[in-house]
Amino acid sequence: MKKLSLKASCLCGGIQLRTHGYHRDVHNCHCIQCMKTHGHYAAYTNVQEQNVKFLKKRTLKWFRSSKRAKKGFCRKCGASLFFKVIGSNIVHIAAGMFNGPTKLKTKMNIFVKRKLDYYKLDNRLATFKRYPK
Ligand SMILES: [Zn+2]
């Protein structure tokens, strides 16, 4: 966890935000929802919902990706920015949406049970079949 203040946006700029407070280390998620949303595994940090301040969110749309979660994306450019468990106050943010250096570190691979065969895992990172307890 790192205390940071970062700016992020989608490709077209329809969604722009600032994050504050503690940011979790980045997790690479290989689950089917992330693979199908991002076209590859997803790299997410997260913050408390109250630490996200939107400057623009005109094009933000939410998609219910499973019984327990939803994904936030830009309906203009198609960028996939967010993942949120329903009822949770934590917002997961795709780390590639930040506009400059983040000072974040990628710490683990999760849900590797669903990993496809065309790429290799970084074996310096901790790896979990599901989500670590
Ligand atoms: Zn956009």
CA triple 92-98-100, angle to 5 deg: 150
pLDDT at 83: 96
C-alpha 52 to ligand 1 mean position (Å):
17
Residue matched to tokens 């049970």:
113
- Of the options 2.130.10.30, 2.170.150.70, 2.40.30.10, 2.170.16.10, the CATH number for the domain spanning 2-127: 2.170.150.70
58 contact partners, CB below 8 Å, separation of at least 6: 14, 15
Answer yes or no: are the C-beta atoms of 8 and 27 closer than 8 Å: no
Residue-range domain boundaries for the chain: 2-127
Alpha carbon of 32 to ligand 1 centroid (Å) = 23
Q: Compute the distance from residue 39 Cα to the ligand 1 centre, in Å.
A: 17
Residues 6+ apart with CB under 8 A from 40: 119
User: Among candidates 81, 68, 83, 72, which has minimal Cα distance to 10?
Assistant: 81
Tens digit of each residue's pLDDT, the chain (133 residues): 889 999 999 999 999 999 999 999 999 999 999 999 999 999 999 999 999 999 999 999 999 999 999 999 999 999 999 999 999 999 999 999 999 999 999 999 999 998 999 999 998 999 999 887 7
Q: What's residue 86's pLDDT? A: 96
